[in-house]
Structure 1
Amino acid sequence: MKSPLLNLPGAVPAEGADEGVAAHYGDLFREQRELAAGRAFVDLSHRAVVTVTGPDRLSWLHLLLTQHVSELPPQQATEALILSPNGHVEHALYLVDDGTTTWAHVEPGTQQALIEYLERMKFMYRVEIADATAEFAVVHMAAGSTASAEGAAAVRELTYGRDLFLPRAELASATRGFGSPAGIWAYEALRIEGHRPRLGFETDHRTIPHEVDWLASAVHLQKGCYRGQETVARVHNLGKPPRRLVFLHLDGTEEVLPPHGTEVRLATDGQEARALGFVTSSARHFELGPIALALVKRNVPVDAVLRAGSVPASQDVVVPQ
């Protein structure tokens, strides 16, 4: 869906996975500074919204998700995963319950597969699942913002801001008091700085939660009874993940950012050397310069200087070796 906020002055449409919202509004670094200072908001209305209602919703979701949600208090934000039987990440849900409805936003275009899976798992539980994307849109309000969230159907309070579920028909009018708009490029730069993984970017078909640090935010290690739990427990207790997420400080002399999928090698190796991983996300940060996240083999030395394509890069540890 094309956001009405693309009609704001200076809006430049995003492409790819973020199509439908603004990449930026003409001044990327100013937008990042305003967002970091709590004076901006981000249009995330391209993300899909799924709701679950019914008296059994939390106890039922508890059986399916990696997170402990059976006693989730109203208005408390959390995030959770749905795994394959082999423990690979299939869906990432960003949740809040308002006392009667569990709200989740997910990656654009993934809601149909998610809902199909949830419907198959209903059995005799008293739950109703709905795709609410046409009725509600997500807007991210920066941490420290004093703007009112009045009118939002649900709010996810986070350490780095708030996610608001707003009526889609009122998106343009509801955001007028939220401060200046910041594009998805600004939001992504701060996400990368915060080492927060994103489905489809930091993940592929064989990603397990340990590799991208989702154990810290989306997996509860003391609960059971969810698909893929055996892999999570086995790797956590007995093994080590085959790959690890790293944060890259990229050489600022290069004009082009390495895109998703760019191969990562040791900087001392030749061009034909074996790839050790790949870039998952990259951005230009208003303070740090060009930065990226990458998924590399676990045994890559933590002090090794890497090369993302043709760009030299130093690494910060996100997932310990």
Structure 2
Amino acid sequence: MTASPFLSLPGAVPADDVDESTAGPGHYGNPIVEQRHLERGTAIVDLSDRGVITVAGPDRLSWLHSMASQSFQGLRPGEGIEALFLDASGRIEHVVHAVDDGETTWLIVEGADAAPLARFLDRMRFMLRVEVADRSDEFAVLGAMSASALDAAVPAASPSGLPLDWNDPWSTRAPGTHRYARDAGHPASDWHFIERIVARDALADAVAAVRAGRVEVAGSLAAEALRIAAWRPRLATEVDEKSLPHELDWLQSAVDLGKGCYKGQETVAKVLNLGRPPRRLVLLHLDGSDTVLPAPGDEVIGEKVRPEPLPGEAPERRVVGHITSSTMHHELGPVALAVIKRQVPADLPLIVESHGTDVAAAQVEIVPADATSAIDVPRLPRLGARP
């Protein structure tokens, strides 16, 4: 995959975060202003680091349906969904943003996950009428918070006559899903992200549109800031080798709870019905007085004070989690997403150890510490239902 032509724009600075592998622009000189432009729906963001996989053939939807956490049966042309591929223990292995054009299912994935997922899918074809291809060298992805910004830049690819736009379902509550986070004040309502698949050689046209002033541009840092503020998990940042969908509140957009017969389903059902995810995602408001922004992987520390401490006794410090993503948000200031242990009380003072400095952190629950069993969704069947 070649370097992004967006790097030729004035002020472009290559990303030095999770997206650095493709050397796309992290920002163009002012990430805070770029956040506002992106949030207003007047800017596009280069996501050409993403991978694009196609699944063609008459059996494609039923085949994907049999393996993924989301329902592909009856997926209408132009409709987009999010789906997880889990291991036998219910841990997240792959995440796809899928849109079907009536002939082919297009999967947008993390760039580093494109080749592994394509290999996995190819091994699972058996005798079915499906064809899997990694098309990342031919197609790229642009993002925006409005279709009008994308339209001003470049038309979506449409090999079968249908524009390939994926509208993120994070802001909606579809039937058969479950959200651990409380609905009141949930920031997902402000997240209306669109990912547009375009021909990779059309990226130069999008750059020309920016130069001509037809659309504004934002870097990956701006997109990450808005994603973090929306509590939106991402495979490249929030997921590790132990991650369950429940821990990241991913049941609300990527799991059809009325669907059976996929790998990892029993764990999904067990954790859902017991109501006790082993870990949980939180948003941390960080003390910015030392101008230290914690990095992914930095440890989150809980301080426990005994009811009757001895004179001069320091609080007990225990590692309770780690930072997954962090940003300087244009309204919230320094914030981060973190995965912490389930039993950590919501009011426990937290500290992030970063660059040799203790950064105080105030916790906002996403998956609550007292998450209870789900009684408002159907129990997952072991066999049979909507296989």
Pair 1:152 & 2:200 matched = no
Structure 2 residue matching 1:201: 3-state secondary structure: helix
Superposition deviation, residue 317 in structure 1: 1.1
Pair 1:168 & 2:162 matched = no
- The one-letter code sitting in structure 2 at the alignment partner of 1:240 is R
Q: Deviations over 1:230-255 (max 9, x none)?
A: 11111111351110000111112121
- The one-letter code sitting in structure 1 at the alignment partner of 2:342 is R
Superposition deviation, residue 144 in structure 1: 6.5
* Range that drifts further, 169-178 or 107-116: 169-178
Q: Name the TM-score, length of structure 1 as normaliser.
A: 0.95
Q: Which has the larger radius of gyration?
A: 2
CA root-mean-square deviation: 1.7
Superposition deviation, residue 16 in structure 1: 4.8
CA distance in 2, matches of 1:259, 1:187: 17
CA distance in 1, matches of 2:235, 2:193: 20
Structure 1 residue matching 2:41: 3-state secondary structure: coil
CA distance in 2, matches of 1:86, 1:113: 19
CA contact (8 A) 1:151 1:174 kept: no
Superposition deviation, residue 298 in structure 1: 0.5
Matches within 5 A, 1:176-255: 176=209, 179-255=215-291
* Range that drifts further, 156-165 or 57-66: 156-165
- The one-letter code sitting in structure 2 at the alignment partner of 1:215 is L
Aligned to 1:3: 4
Out of 300, 304, 310, which is 2:348 matched to? 304
Superposition deviation, residue 105 in structure 1: 1.2
Pair 1:317 & 2:365 matched = yes
Aligned to 1:70: 73
Q: Deviations over 1:12-32 (max 9, x none)?
A: 001353122100000111100
Stretches of structure 2 that go unaligned for 5 or more consecutive residues are 159-163, 172-191, 306-313, 370-387
CA contact (8 A) 1:144 1:161 kept: no
Aligned to 1:138: 141
When residues 206 and 45 of structure 1 are mapped into structure 2, their CA distance, relative to the original with a 3 A threshold, is same
- The one-letter code sitting in structure 2 at the alignment partner of 1:27 is N
Q: Name the TM-score, length of structure 2 as normaliser.
A: 0.80
CA distance in 1, matches of 2:150, 2:215: 8
CA distance in 2, matches of 1:38, 1:112: 32
Stretches of structure 1 that go unaligned for 5 or more consecutive residues are none
When residues 90 and 151 of structure 1 are mapped into structure 2, their CA distance, relative to the original with a 3 A threshold, is closer
Aligned to 1:56: 59
Superposition deviation, residue 113 in structure 1: 1.2
Superposition deviation, residue 268 in structure 1: 5.8
* Range that drifts further, 94-103 or 144-153: 144-153
Structure 1 residue matching 2:317: 3-state secondary structure: coil
Matches within 5 A, 1:75-114: 75-114=78-117
CA distance in 1, matches of 2:38, 2:148: 9
Aligned pair count reads 321
Aligned to 2:129: 126
- The one-letter code sitting in structure 2 at the alignment partner of 1:274 is R
CA distance in 1, matches of 2:42, 2:165: 18
- The one-letter code sitting in structure 2 at the alignment partner of 1:181 is V
CA distance in 2, matches of 1:35, 1:16: 19
* Range that drifts further, 66-75 or 27-36: 66-75
Q: Deviations over 1:28-80 (max 9, x none)?
A: 11100000111101000011111111111111100011001111111112111
Superposition deviation, residue 200 in structure 1: 3.2
- The one-letter code sitting in structure 2 at the alignment partner of 1:285 is H
Superposition deviation, residue 267 in structure 1: 4.8
Superposition deviation, residue 271 in structure 1: 8.6
CA distance in 2, matches of 1:198, 1:120: 25
Aligned to 1:18: 19
CA distance in 2, matches of 1:25, 1:272: 44
